[in-house]
Structure formats: structure tokens, C-alpha cells
Amino acid sequence: MTTKPEKPAVVKEPSMLKQKAMIARNYDKLTSAPETGKKVVSTYVPGNLNELIMCFDMLNNLPEINAIQNGLRKQSGNMIREAEKMGHSEDVCSYVKADIGAMARGAIAPNGKPMPPPDLLLLSYTGCFTFLKWFELLRDEWGCETVMLQVPYDGDGKVTDNMRDYVVKQLKEEVIPAMERISGVKFDIDRLRENLKHSAAAEDDFVWVLQSAMNKPSPIDAYFGGVFYIGPIFTAFRGTEDAVDYYKLLRQEIEERIAQGKGPITPEGEMGEEKYRLVVEGPPNWTHFRDFWKMFYDEGAVVVASTYTKVGGVFDFGFRHDPENPLESLADYCLGCYTNRNLPDRVAMIENYMEAYQADGLLINSIKSCNSFSAGQLLMMREIERRTGKPAAFIETDLVDPRYFSAANIRTRLESYFQMIEQKRRPAGAPTPVAA
């Protein structure tokens, strides 16, 4: 999600260039860790505690992002096959297999240098049981220290004191001591407060960016473009000044687009007329990211809101990291991530997006790898159709396993879906006398 597809985009805006430079710098830091002596923490995007990790001068390496990078570069297929040869089932998550397969081949970072093994696995399994197994598997391979941060699931749709206290206590008594020990740096809560201030500032602009899609036409694509916009805030940059600057820059660019009445930028330049406004549920496919996107912008379909851009934190309903309550707000952040919310909550969120963003319909991209997202999506679809009266469609792909992307099949469904929306709102859909 933090990289550009392999072919350079036609239009490179300053914000894109800035993000690219940020990512490159971070990979350089990671691959030079053996020389600089910096310690590396691996953790996941949902429940990513970057602000805390930075308090110990440690570097943050997110395995999903590495799998995505390999997916975009069309290398994940071989890695997955490698892992399957090692005994991993074809049925399970392709992020895990891409990661394990990459390790087996000697993990190489996008800068071409070897990726050092992590010094600490921060197992914050927020919203996904597979995370739990994934780091057990990595621990088994690397033999490195692992610290568990259990984030209870919001089964009843509300965060209880018990849940919050449990997370805070784990942070205090398990996570922070482990980080202190490994990094040799004493925890300084004021440093955390400082980082959280940066987070909150970036989150304000990030939310503004997401909500800019309420404009007609929308100046952004909140799914295919959105995965770039979430890059800094979901990964190793939340809590940095870099991220604050990035979102300021991005906001300015989008303000300008709105002033000019422009739609989103696509890999092939400015998008044509906005014909369909969609809400999308589910992660994107990474192995055919560009082909997939093209099926949308060629038809004039813009995604105005997506749930995937909430996977590393839900900020558009008011939550901000809070320097006044640092550990509690880290807990609330983790507890509130999209896949940690129960299904009724997820349905309510999508329903809200459908109305607030004046969408024509809901599209669910159901991901084979990700049961956390996928199990129950067909019921979610029915609920949204029933509540909003707007049409929904369902397609199936995978994250980084290229074997599960059937372009012809997806195109058929998308075309039918777009035409269905079109027919329903066009007077030509009305009948003319037809003698049977």
C-alpha cells in the first residue's frame, strides 16, 4: 500500500514523490540496521504502535507491506508456491505464505539489500487470528523474541473498560518492558506524547482528504488512490513530522483539484467523467492492481469511500490519538481498527458512507485470504441493500496470490453492475411496448 505500481504513473504529484522518498529512506534504515545497530520491530498494520516503537529508537517493519510490495512487483506468486512446497496449505492467507516464501529465498527489501531479521515481534493481533499464527511461524523461523499484545475484539460493538484496561496493562507490563530491554532505551512518556501530537495533526488532514470524496465530482479515488493516501499514516510514519507534512501537502493538492472541479488522477492521467460513485468493502488485489483499477476508471467509476482505508485505524468518526491520555489512546486506537469491529458496526459504517458520500452502490471485493474481512460479507451486502435500497455487487479476488484473479470473470461482473446502475436510473430503462 505504500508503493507505486511498477510502471511509473503519468502524473507524479509532489505528495507522491515525497511519500516515495519517505519509503525509500525507511527501507534504507531497515536494511542498514546491522551497521547502525538500530533494533527492528515487526508488527502489523492494524494495531500498529508506531508512536511507541519510535520512543525506543527502534525501526518498524510491517510484513503485510512487504507482501504487498512483492505482490505489486508480481513476485508473490513464486513466493507463495515456495511456501506451499514447504508444507503450507493452499487454503491459508497468501500474505503469510508470501512472507514465509520470501524469507526462504533470503528476504530482499525493495532497495535490493537483504532485510535484517527482526529483533522483536510485536504480536498485536488486532482484528485477525491469522496474525497470531503468522508470528508464531516467524518466531519459529527467526527464533527472535516475541511479545504479545492481545487486543480484545469488539464483539458487542462497544469498547468496555475491561478491554481498555487489559490493553493498557499489557502495554505497561509486557510490551514496554520488552522494548526497553531489547532497545536499551528507557521509556519516556513525554516522548510518546510528542509523537501522538504529530499523529493527531496528521490524522486531521488525513480525514479531510478522505472526506474530500463527498464532493461531486470526487477529487480522489478513495480505494485505488486511497491505498496510497493511507501509506504514511498506517505504517512506519504515523507520529512523525514527515507524515504531518505529507498530509498537509496532499491536502493542498486536493484543495486545488476541488477548486478546478477535477476528478481523481489515475495511472493514465486525469480521469474522465464521473459516472458511478461507489463504496467498496474489502482489501484490493495487489497482483493485478492496475488492471483492476483500470476496469473502474475506464467505465467512469469512482470509489468515494472504502473500508480498507480504515484497516489501520478508523479516524473519520472522531477518534484521534490523544497526548493527554497516551496509553489509553493507543488502546482505543487498536480496539477501534476496522476489522476489530463486529459485523453490525461494519454494516452501520458502510451504510453511513453510502448516504454521506451519495454513493450509487456498494461493491464488495471479497478476498480469499482474509476471513476476518470476508466471512459474513454476503450478509453485510444484503443488509446494505435492504437498508439503502441501492444495488450491491460481489466479486472475488485475493491479496497477493495471482492464481485467484480472473480478469474476464471480474470484468463481466463489474460491467453488469455498472450497466445495472445505469439502467436503473435512466429513462431508457423504462419499458417501451413490447409484444412478446
Partner 1 sequence: MASPKTTEAIVAHCEALFGDLDFTAARRWKDAEPGRKVIGYMPIYVPREIIHAGGMLPLGILGGGDNIEVIHGDAYYQSYICRIPRSTIELAITKRLDFVDGMLFPAICDVIRNLSGMWKLMRPEAYVRYFDVPQNFRDDLGGEYYINELRELIAGLEGVAGRKIPDDDIRRSIAVYNDNRRLVQRVYELRAKTPWKAPTSEVYLLLRAGMVLPVEDHSRLLEDYLATCEARDRPMRDNCRIVLQGTFCEQPPLSLIKAIELSGCYIVDDDFMLVTRWLLDDVAVDGDPIANLSRAFLHASAATAAKYEPDPAQKGAFLIETVRKRAAEGVIFASPSFCDPALLDRPMLAKALSRENIPYISFKYAENSGQMQPIREQAGTFADSIKLWSEA
Partner 2 sequence: MRCFIGIDLGSTTTKAVLLDEDGGMLGRGITNSRSNYQTATTVAKLEAMISARLTLFSRALAQDGTGIADVGAFMAEIERHFRLEQFLDQLDDLERTGAAVIDGERFAGREDAAREALGLIFDRLRGEAPAIYAPGAERKSDFFRDIAGSRYMHIAEDVAKEAGVAFDMLLNIYDKSIIGVENRPPAGAMGERFKRAIDRVLGETSRKLDREALDAAMKSAFGIDIEEANIVGTGYGRVTLPFPKEQIRSEILCHGLGAHVLYPKTRTVLDIGGQDTKAIQIDKDGIVENFQMNDRCAAGCGRYLGYIADEMNIGVHELGPLAMKATKSVRINSTCTVFAGAELRDRLALGEKREDILAGLHRAIILRAMSIISRSGGIENEFTWTGGVANNEAAVKALRILVKENYGDVTINIDPASIYTGALGAATFALREANAKGAQA
Q: Which does 91 bind (CB under 5 to 8 A by kind): partner 1, partner 2, none?
A: partner 1
Contact flag: residue 153 with partner 1 (CB under 8 A) = yes
Contacts with partner 2, residue ranges (CB under 8 A) = 378, 382, 385, 391-394, 396, 404, 406, 409, 411-413, 415-416, 419-420, 423-424, 427-436
Residues 154-173 that bind partner 1 (CB under 8 A): 155-156, 160, 162-163, 165-166, 169-170, 173
Q: Which residues contact 371 (CB under 8 A, 6 or more apart)?
A: 130
* Residue 416 interacting entry, from partner 2, partner 1, none, C-beta within 5 to 8 Å by type: partner 2
How many CB atoms neighbour CB 386 within 10 A?
9
Q: Give the three-state DSSP class for 363.
A: strand
In angstroms, give the least distance from the CB of 417 to partner 2.
Answer: 8
Cβ-contact 360, 323 below 8 angstroms: no
In whole angstroms, the minimum distance from the beta carbon of 303 to partner 1 comes to 21
Those residues whose C-beta lies under 8 Å from the C-beta of residue 35, and which sit 6 or more positions away, are none
User: Contact between 137 and partner 1 (CB under 8 A)?
Assistant: yes
Judged by beta carbon, residue 5 or residue 300, the one nearer partner 2 is: 300
Q: What is the dihedral of CA 188, 194, 196, 197, to 10 degrees?
A: 160
| Residue 276 backbone phi and psi in degrees, to 5 | -130, 135
Each residue of 291-329: b (16+ CB within 10 Å) or e?
ebbbbbbebbbbbbbbbbbbbbbbbbeebbbbbeebbeb
Residue from 294, 376, 420, 422 binding partner 1 (CB under 8 A): 376
426 is an interface residue for partner 1 by CB under 8 A: no
- The Cα–Cα gap between 268 and 137 comes to 40
Which of 151, 233 has the CB closer to partner 1? 151
DSSP 8-state code for residue 283 = P
Q: What is the closest distance, in whole angstroms, from the C-beta atom of residue 137 to partner 1 in the complex?
A: 7
Q: How far is CA 178 from CA 1, 53, 169, 357, in A?
A: 29, 11, 13, 44
Binding site for partner 1 (CB under 8 A): 86-89, 91-93, 96, 123, 125, 128-130, 132-134, 136-137, 139-140, 143, 146, 148, 150, 152-153, 155-156, 160, 162-163, 165-166, 169-170, 173-174, 342-347, 366, 368, 371-372, 374-379, 383, 396
